[in-house]
Each structure stands twice: as C-alpha cells, then as structure tokens.
Structure 1
C-alpha cells in the first residue's frame, strides 16, 4: 500500500478553525435550490478534511454556535480545539465577577483570581473538589478570553479617562514636539 492511500491515524488530518466550522454550517443552512445542495463529500474536499469531520460539524451545530457566540474574528480564526471546563458553574460565576471588576477598573492579580475561584468552589453545596492551580488559571484565561493583568505602583491607580491627566499629556506632547528629532 502506498503512503498516499494509507489510512490516516486518528487526529492526524487538518484541523478546522471555528471560522471554517461556521462557514461550513453556513453552506448547509443557506437556502438550497433543487440540484445545488452541497454534499458532505464536496464540502470535505473543499476544506481538505474527511467526510466524517463534516458530519461531526453538522451534528455539533448548536454547540459550535453557542461557544463561538461573542468571540472575536481573530479568536475564531486561530481556535481549532476546545477544552471543556471541568467546573462550568464555577467558571460562569468567576467570569461574571471578573467582568464586574473590569467595569470598575480594578486591577486583579492572578493570585487574587485563583483565590476568588477557590472561594467560589467552597460556596457550592457540597464544596467542589477544585484546586485553583496556575495551570488551571492559564487554561481558564484561554477558554474565557478574559484578560488578567497585573499593574504595579501608581500605574495601577491611574484613571486613564481623567481630564486633568489627558490635558497634562497633551502639554507634554507639545513640549516633546518642539525638541529636535535627534536629541
């Protein structure tokens, strides 16, 4: 048997991005005329994947649409694989808390996020067997696309919308503009 016709091992084929998955779903959900209905085979060939990959996308349509809702195009273009959360209720509550903190312009260090996740896990009845490790936090950040940043010193306390600060920056910018280019 030649290597061209050899069966591929599971998981060795091309992996579809979420953008491609949504395009495929769009092909099948578009209004179809009598002889123009796309076949799984034709779509698979077009995207360079197996027919079973196309069938899997069609079967998981609701799940794909749900998880891609609200994601940026850049994130959809690079996402090929999803890890499911082991504790989705915990992550939903943590996400709401993080969004609230970001709205209030509160800087949140990673260890505070881990501590909050642990306290949320203990609030369940019975408490979850959950360890808020640095690895869990990194994976959570990827899954939820919530930025967790650390700001140190005065920079963490500055309101970047403060009119006095903006006026001072404008004056400083004008002063810098008067200097020769190679100073």
Structure 2
C-alpha cells in the first residue's frame, strides 16, 4: 500500500512538473497560475504547495528537472552528435525544453525578477557543460575557453530566439555551417 502511495505521489509530482514547464514556456512564469497548472495536470491545485511549497519552489523544480535533461543530453555520446561543442550547442536549440528557457529569459533579465538567480544558475550550468568540451589548445592565441564559451552559448541563445520568432527565416543548418566555418580548427 505504501509503495502505491509513493508511486502516486511521484506521478503527481511529474504531472505537475510537466504541466508547469509547458505553461511557463507558453505563457511565462508570471502569467501562469496554480489553477492553470492544476487544470493542465489534472490534479488538485492544493497539490502544488504540498509538493513544492509555492510557485517559486515549483519553478525551481522545473528548472532543475529541465537542466538535468539538458546536461544529461550534453553528457551522452549522442547528445552532441560527435561530442563537438558546436554540435551540442546547436542541438540544444531543437530540444523542446529550450523554448522554456527562452520564454523565461525575458522575465529573468528584470532586476527584481524572482527567477533571476535561478536563471543565472542555469546559464552557469550550460556554460560549464559546453566549456568541458572545449580544448584550450584549439583556440586562437589570446582567446580564453571561458570567453569562447560565453560567445558560443550567447550566439546560440540569439539564434534560438530568432528561430522561435520566425522559423521560416532561420535556416539552422546554414547557421551551423557558418559558425563551423568561423571556428578555429579543432572546434568546428
């Protein structure tokens, strides 16, 4: 009996995380209510504070869960086609979770945003995941792996935002080819 209760609790938590992630991606954090999340998940809205404490606790759980997904993808051999940093970061654009990150970016840049610190942590983890794959010796003299990582992740965030707004105007394969041509040997 206890095992079944634990399974139901975990299932409820997973349904709430999934519903919240989808709604935060569609509507943003501030525009999404407990009622919206509960209806989408098919679970009582009282379950949200029981599982997560409050809305910010739910957002933290969503970001942690989705970040884990991204980092697991980066760590897997298939995650970046060849393990190449460019392929990994460009592959990130196509992940469904990336829409969530882009939607929340607009809110996270506000100084008083309740998600700003969490988003900074997300960016740090993304940079660390990419940085781990950049051999310092492949970079031009005077270029640091840290600065290159920031540039690469930032470029992809910008490309992704443009692609989400006007997918017909952004050819992701052409962008990948162009970035690859601009990269130093050993990175492209």
* TM-score under structure 2 length normalisation: 0.28
Structure showing greater radius of gyration is 1
Query: Greater helix share, 1 or 2?
Result: 2
Greater relative contact order structure (CA < 8 Å, 6+ sep): 2
